Amino acid sequence: MKQFVPLRGGRIAYQTYGDGAQDMIVFHGLTGSSWLDAEWVEAIEDADVRCIVLERPGYGDSSPIEMDHVADWCVLFGPIVAALGITNAIAVGCSAGAVYAYASAFADPDAIGEVWILDGVPAVYLDRVIRHYSVEGREAYAKFLNGARTEIQDYYATGLDEFLATLPPDADPYLRNTLTDARANHCFGPAQESRLQITPWGFDPANIGQRVTLWHAEGDTMVPFAGAEEMAEILKDATLLTADPTLFGANDSDLDVHIGSISHGFLQLLGRIET
């Protein structure tokens, strides 16, 4: 069930899974939401964690709050921490959510004690990072940086509408709910975040002092593994773990590898938490 944190100029929606002692905040991917699939929910309920999944501005039932830089999230995060009583949490950044896990750790070291980055988007505004992306990836980021947000919204909305139209009536409710929430506000969330990723974030990730565990598949072409290696060098205290390549088959798509690695990484790291 969704709940809400009121903010100046809007609200942030979230859902909570589990009621354990260890706080955890999950930051979803670019086409994500506060919904989790059944495997994650079961694993969380078996662990000693309270997992809070936030819907970022413009996603689902969160207000489309305009941001100029990722650092603007730091201002929004303070009231969320206070309202939810978050202490010494693990921030989990999945794909595009990595950017906000980093920002939250930078904003409040008391609230965030550790960071997990699962096939997470690195600091692509840095030349040393973006150079590892494909030509197509670099061209896409150039469009996100220079294009009108309304055009980017149209781009994402068209793609999601086409995909949602193909879902059978008995499709997994998690998938339908997640994509519908990503589509909210005419894809304000994905469009804004695509621009914010490539814009200087407004804080230096090198100044994050918490331990960061980066989990990444070497075969991930959506978010290149070399970008994760660069982030491991940029961060003060980082460990880079690689997904077992035997998890993926020759017929797996780029998206299959990306999503599969994220899911496997979350379940593996969650299993390390003492109950």
- Residue 177's domain is classified under what CATH number? 3.40.50.1820
Residue 193 lies in a domain: yes
Lay out the sheet containing 112-118: strands in order across.
Answer: 3-7, 10-17, 49-54, 22-27, 89-94, 112-118, 211-216, 238-242
Confidence of residue 274 (pLDDT cuts 50, 70, 90): low
Residue 172 lies in a domain: yes
Residue 154 lies in a domain: yes
Q: Other C-beta atoms within 10 Å of 181: how many?
A: 23
Range of the domain at 92: 3-270
Quick: pLDDT tens for 121-149. 999 999 999 999 999 999 999 999 999 99
Q: How far apart are CA 189 and CA 153, in angstroms?
A: 9
Q: How far apart are CA 64 and CA 66, in angstroms?
A: 6
Query: What is the predicted pLDDT for the residue at 8?
Result: 86
Residue 142 lies in a domain: yes
Work out the average pLDDT over 100-120: 98
Does pLDDT of 26 surpass 80? yes
Mention every residue, 6+ apart, whose C-beta is less than 8 A from residue 235.
205, 206, 208, 212
Residue 275 lies in a domain: no
Confidence of residue 16 (pLDDT cuts 50, 70, 90): very high
Work out the average pLDDT over 75-104: 97
Quick: pLDDT tens for 179-197. 999 999 999 999 999 999 9
Residue 41 lies in a domain: yes
Residue 202 lies in a domain: yes
Maximum distance among all Cα pairs of the chain, rounded to whole angstroms: 49
Does pLDDT of 14 surpass 80? yes
Looking at the structure of the chain, the number of domains it has is 1
Query: What is the predicted pLDDT for the residue at 162?
Result: 97
Residue 245 lies in a domain: yes
Query: What is the predicted pLDDT for the residue at 250?
Result: 85
